[in-house]
Structure 1
Amino acid sequence: MTETAEPRIPPESEQAPSPDALLVRRTLAEIAPVADKVTGYFYALLFIHRPELRGLFPAAMDTQRDRLLKALLTAAEHMDDPDVLVPYLQNLGRGHRKYGTEAGHYPAVGEALIGALIRYATTTWNEETQAAWVRTYTKISQIMIDAAAEDEEHAPPWWHAEVVSHDLRTPDIAVVTLRPDQPYPFLAGQYTMLETPWWPRVWRHYSFASAPRPDGLLSLHVKAVPAGWVSSALVHRARPGDVLRLGPPAGSMTVDHSKDNGLLCLGGGTGIAPIKALVEDVAEHGDRRPVEVFYGARSDQDLYDIDTMMRLQKNFPWLSVRPVTEQQGRLPEAVRRYGPWAEYDAYLSGPLAMVRSSMDVLPGVGIPMDRIRHDFPTELAGRP
């Protein structure tokens, strides 16, 4: 299973949680200390009762781990936040089509979920709790099923995409350009889920490094990471002529062109890819709002796309690009020094530690949490 973006959960509403939500949260609190055991038991039940579903998952389940279960449990915990969860689940349902997921698979997942909870929620589980979980899972699965059915009417489950160029920028970073076999609609700032022929059923997320292009080509920045099967294959093995598979575009780190706030963009490492796409998007819409880009890397040599960013700065007077290396300090601290940023919306892309530390800093320099956008993939995403 692949990653997708964690739903952006707002602060708890002042409205009292529903009775079902209270029961669900009690169960979640009880099973939290034994989450690994719950996960193992869940998959065991699923594959014993529906062995044919094993083929929908990667051969090595350690690449999957608990993403499916965590996605379900996270959705269940926040079912009182429909404005957030419904779009998240709809996106999940559409994305699951690329695995061959069908509506008939969802009941089996639900049965395995309930079975695992019965086994490990020994203190809080009773008939009332089970009824609450059944109602909650029914809502979750139906949203996903309906979204998949609607998407099937106008979009394929996946796209084939040919590698047309492979530019090795550093020993472990490549810019890969793809030509999809049919139009691929996406927005600047979004990402795709990608499968290579070398690792079937192992999907990884990569952000687009440009706004939609007239020629339809797609550009990705890929860094090979230790034990990264897909990333290492894309950097060291992929060549022009190879054909990959793409899932549907996803992500909400996009620009609202009805607003005139400035954009404060933090890109760490290959996280500069979607930031570059956002800059192009602003330019194509003729906006003149200020865009401030902080481009972070360990050293000057790791600023592999700095020449491109500086050319963009030269062409657009409303754009400012500031490279920040570890020698100069942490990226969030550099942002703090140049603040305040009260008239800006923030866009974050890069390593998880950078995103988290930036989210700690930005409210203090004028950007509230509801104006901070990021689509960091997490292990909370999964598929039935």
Structure 2
Amino acid sequence: MDVQRDRLFRALLSAARGAEDPAALRVGLSALGRGHRRYGTLTGHYAPVGECLVQALARYAGGRWDADTELAWRRAYRLISTIMIEAAEEAARTSPPWWQGEVVRHERRTRDVAVVTVRPDQAYPFRAGQYCSLETPWWPRVWRHYSFAAAPRPDGLLTFHVKAVQAGWVSNALVHRAAPGDVLRLGPAAGEMTVDHGAGADLLCLGGGTGIAPIRALVEEAAEHGVSGRSVEVFYGARRAAELYALDGLRELAARNPWLTVRPVLSGAGSGEGALTGELPEVVGRFGSWAGRDAVLSGPPAMVRRGVEALLRAGVPAGRIRHDLVGDLASR
């Protein structure tokens, strides 16, 4: 419940801070409303939750709570719940609250990284660059977010890269316990780290650790659509060469597609063939100006934040930088 408490307060703070940008607020809350379907949340649940929230605020705000404050909170919650309810009811007309997915392949790439391939029980719509939430049979009602590691494919299979992290219930189960035949539950696809392949701008991709998963999917999608003169640069970072578990596959893609360049980056001791050295954001920044590029970043939250700063300094406009901080969404 501590995790749920923190998520609730983060959502409330995001709604309060986003009041001046109604369009962005609606996007975020709509995704939240659709996501709550997997917990069995119904329209009738929102009103009593709102009453409990107001009563809790009144109790702990003390002398700062008055009639105007209560009215403001009730209006805010009414807005939040209305957007979430509308999104959930709209989604219910076209998709289930979750999908069943059978594990059909489980490959250990390193001691703590596994590539898990899943066959959903019905058509699962998504775009390269997005992510979904997964629930395992060993931790019921505990959902964690993972990015799709491959573009949509004709056989409908879904691929995820999972790193087991300390105290990570779901990640450790997926890496060390899951096996072909196990059945997972999948929430709907979410995330805005998608690319318009018809836009024509060159693309810069930064992937750290298992953050390379959605980058790989975006590169596959670009190859399928055709790039029409667009170049794609991928910087793939890890501490040690052995942790660059997806490098061979990316190099194979680069060998078949001359518009693709793959640059491995190592931040720890040792070296790898053709690898640059240093922290991934700083290495990318050393290459000079990236003005005119679209950019996508995926990896640990600290890396993504530093990467955004480096790209801004290197001339990439903020509006052309896309990322989903999946790590902030508790990918454990």
| Equivalence for 2:241 | 300
| Equivalence for 2:273 | none
Higher mean displacement: 75-84 or 295-304: 75-84
Take 1:264 and 1:353, find their aligned partners in 2: how far apart are those partners?
19
Task: For 2:291, give the aligned amino acid.
Answer: A
Q: Does 1:259 align with 2:193?
A: no
**1:361: Cα distance to partner?**
1.2
Which of the numbers 172, 187, 210 marks the counterpart of 1:270? 210
| Equivalence for 2:293 | 344
CA contact (8 A) 1:173 1:235 kept: yes
Take 1:281 and 1:117, find their aligned partners in 2: how far apart are those partners?
47
Q: Does 1:354 align with 2:294?
A: no
Identical columns (%)? 63
| Equivalence for 1:372 | 321
Q: Does 1:324 align with 2:262?
A: no
Q: Does 1:249 align with 2:222?
A: no
Take 1:106 and 1:379, find their aligned partners in 2: how far apart are those partners?
25
Higher mean displacement: 76-85 or 237-246: 76-85
TM-score (norm 2): 0.94
Q: Does 1:190 align with 2:130?
A: yes
Q: How does 1:105-254 map to 2 (within 5 A)?
A: 105-254=45-194
* Higher RCO, Cα 8 Å, sep 6+: 1
TM-score (norm 1): 0.81
Take 1:378 and 1:329, find their aligned partners in 2: how far apart are those partners?
22
Structure 1 alignment gaps of length 5 or more:
1-60
Take 1:252 and 1:104, find their aligned partners in 2: how far apart are those partners?
29
Which of the numbers 65, 79, 84 marks the counterpart of 2:19? 79
Deviations 1:145-169 (A, max 9, x none): 0111111111001000000000001
SS for the counterpart of 1:66 is helix
| Equivalence for 1:46 | none
Take 2:253 and 2:328, find their aligned partners in 1: how far apart are those partners?
34
Task: For 2:164, give the aligned amino acid.
Answer: A
Distance 1:379 1:119, change over 3 A: farther
Higher mean displacement: 102-111 or 181-190: 102-111
| Equivalence for 2:231 | 290
Aligned Cα RMSD in Å? 1.4
SS for the counterpart of 2:36 is helix
Task: For 1:127, give the aligned amino acid.
Answer: A
**1:119: Cα distance to partner?**
2.2
Take 1:115 and 1:380, find their aligned partners in 2: how far apart are those partners?
28
Displaced runs of 4 or more, over 4 A: 378-381
**1:65: Cα distance to partner?**
4.0
CA contact (8 A) 1:74 1:380 kept: no
Which of the numbers 41, 44, 55 marks the counterpart of 1:104? 44
SS for the counterpart of 2:123 is coil
Task: For 2:232, give the aligned amino acid.
Answer: V
CA contact (8 A) 2:151 2:220 kept: yes
Task: For 1:69, give the aligned amino acid.
Answer: F
SS for the counterpart of 2:20 is coil
**1:287: Cα distance to partner?**
1.4
Take 2:286 and 2:197, find their aligned partners in 1: how far apart are those partners?
28
CA contact (8 A) 1:261 1:345 kept: yes
Take 1:235 and 1:346, find their aligned partners in 2: how far apart are those partners?
30
**1:123: Cα distance to partner?**
4.6
**1:122: Cα distance to partner?**
3.0
**1:63: Cα distance to partner?**
4.2
Take 2:18 and 2:2, find their aligned partners in 1: how far apart are those partners?
27
Take 2:64 and 2:327, find their aligned partners in 1: how far apart are those partners?
28
Distance 1:350 1:244, change over 3 A: same
CA contact (8 A) 1:89 1:143 kept: yes
Structure 2 alignment gaps of length 5 or more:
269-276
| Equivalence for 1:90 | 30
CA contact (8 A) 2:109 2:115 kept: yes
Take 1:226 and 1:300, find their aligned partners in 2: how far apart are those partners?
22
Deviations 1:37-56 (A, max 9, x none): xxxxxxxxxxxxxxxxxxxx
| Equivalence for 1:44 | none
